Amino acid sequence: MKMTLTSLAVGLLLAGPAVYAQGPRNEPVQPIPAAEVSDAAMAELGKKLFFDPRLSRSGFISCNSCHNLSMGGTDNLKTSIGHNWQQGPINSPTVLNSSLNLAQFWDGRAADLKEQAGGPIANPGEMAFTHELAIGVLQSIPGYVSEFETVFGQSELDIDMVTDAIAAFEETLVTPDSPFDQWLKGDDNALSAQALAGYQLFKQSGCVACHNGPNLGGTSFQKMGVVEPYQSDSDAIGRAAVTGKDADRFTFKVPTLRNVELTYPYFHDGEAATLEEAVDIMGRLQLGRVYSNQEVSQIVAFLKSLTGEQPRFELPILPPSTNQTPAPEPFG
Residues with catalytic roles = 126
Q: Applying CB under 6 A, does 90 fall inside the site for ligand HEC?
A: yes
Out of 182, 263, 298, 307, point to the residue binding ligand HEC (CB under 6 A).
Answer: 263
Number of residues forming the site for ligand HEC (CB under 6 A) = 51
Q: Are 89 and 235 in contact (CB under 8 A)?
A: yes
Binding segment toward ligand HEC, per CB under 6 A, in 37-45, 97-105, 186-194, 305-313: 97-105
First-last CA distance in the chain: 76
- To the nearest 10 degrees (0 to 180), the angle between helices 113-122 and 159-170 is 120
Q: Are 195 and 301 in contact (CB under 8 A)?
A: yes
Q: Applying CB under 6 A, does 88 fall inside the site for ligand HEC?
A: yes
Q: Applying CB under 6 A, does 129 fall inside the site for ligand HEC?
A: no
Please, what is the minimum distance in Å from the beta carbon of residue 127 to ligand HEC? 5
Burial class (CB within 10 angstroms; exposed 0-12, middle 13-18, buried 19+) of 299: buried
307: closest CA among 94, 68, 72, 104?
Answer: 72
Count of positions (residues) in the chain: 332
Beta bridge partners of 68: 74
Q: Applying CB under 6 A, does 92 fall inside the site for ligand HEC?
A: yes
The Cα 58–Cα 11 span in angstroms is 64
Out of 165, 182, 252, 295, point to the residue binding ligand HEC (CB under 6 A).
Answer: 252
Q: Applying CB under 6 A, does 172 fall inside the site for ligand HEC?
A: no
- To the nearest 10 degrees (0 to 180), the angle between helices 142-152 and 40-51 is 150
> Phi, psi (5° rounding) for residue 259?
60, 25
Instruction: Indicate the pairing of strand 251-253 with strand 86-87.
Output: unpaired
Out of 100, 166, 190, 195, point to the residue binding ligand HEC (CB under 6 A).
Answer: 166
Out of 93, 179, 213, 214, point to the residue binding ligand HEC (CB under 6 A).
Answer: 93
**In the range 5-34, which residues lie near ligand HEC by CB under 6 A?**
none
Q: Applying CB under 6 A, does 179 fall inside the site for ligand HEC?
A: no
The Cα 60–Cα 40 span in angstroms is 27
CA distances (Å), 105 to each of 177, 259, 278, 325, in order?
26, 18, 20, 32
Please, what is the minimum distance in Å from the beta carbon of residue 183 to ligand HEC? 18
Please, what is the minimum distance in Å from the beta carbon of residue 7 to ligand HEC? 46
Q: Applying CB under 6 A, does 316 fall inside the site for ligand HEC?
A: no
Taking the least distance from each CB to ligand HEC, the nearer of 79 and 182 is 79
Q: Applying CB under 6 A, does 207 fall inside the site for ligand HEC?
A: yes
Q: Which residues bind ligand HEC (CB under 6 A)?
A: 61, 63, 65-67, 80, 82, 88, 90, 92-93, 95, 98, 101, 104-106, 113, 116-117, 120-121, 126-127, 166, 202, 205-207, 209-211, 222, 224, 226, 252, 254-255, 257, 260, 263, 266-268, 278-279, 282-283, 286-287, 299
